[in-house]
Amino acid sequence: MKITKNAQGNTTTLALQGRLDTVTSTQLANELSAIFEEGAVNLVFDFTALEYISSAGLRVILTAQKKINAQGTKMEIVGANESVKEIFDITGFSGIMKIN
């Protein structure tokens, strides 16, 4: 998986490319830890090039949402394909996260 980070003001966008699964979820978790250490930030996940997300990937996204809620900032997921959106719908995550 490739992660492209773009910070503008107090918003950081992470564009994910490839598969977010058991093997790659640690990479994203480490990237998020570094971002949260810098302070409160709005977070945008760009899933335009994300092919697949597993339960391990969902766990990392959920953890990010919890930290965002605690900070009082916002998180948004954009560009998710139909199969990724379906996973969010089936798990109920689409009800607790902003997905466009």
What is the domain range of residue 52? 2-99
Instruction: Look up the CATH number of the domain holding residue 89.
Output: 3.30.750.24
- Indicate the number of domains in the chain: 1
Tokens matching residue 79: 């560009």
At residue 90, the 3 state secondary structure works out as: helix
Containing H/E element for 4? Answer: strand 2-8
Residue with tokens 């250490």, as numbered in its chain: 37
pTM for this model (two decimals): 0.95
Report the C-alpha gap between 13 and 41 in whole angstroms. 10
Q: Which pLDDT score, from 0 to 100, does residue 28 have?
A: 98
Digit-coded pLDDT (tens) for 14-41: 999 999 999 999 999 999 999 999 888 9
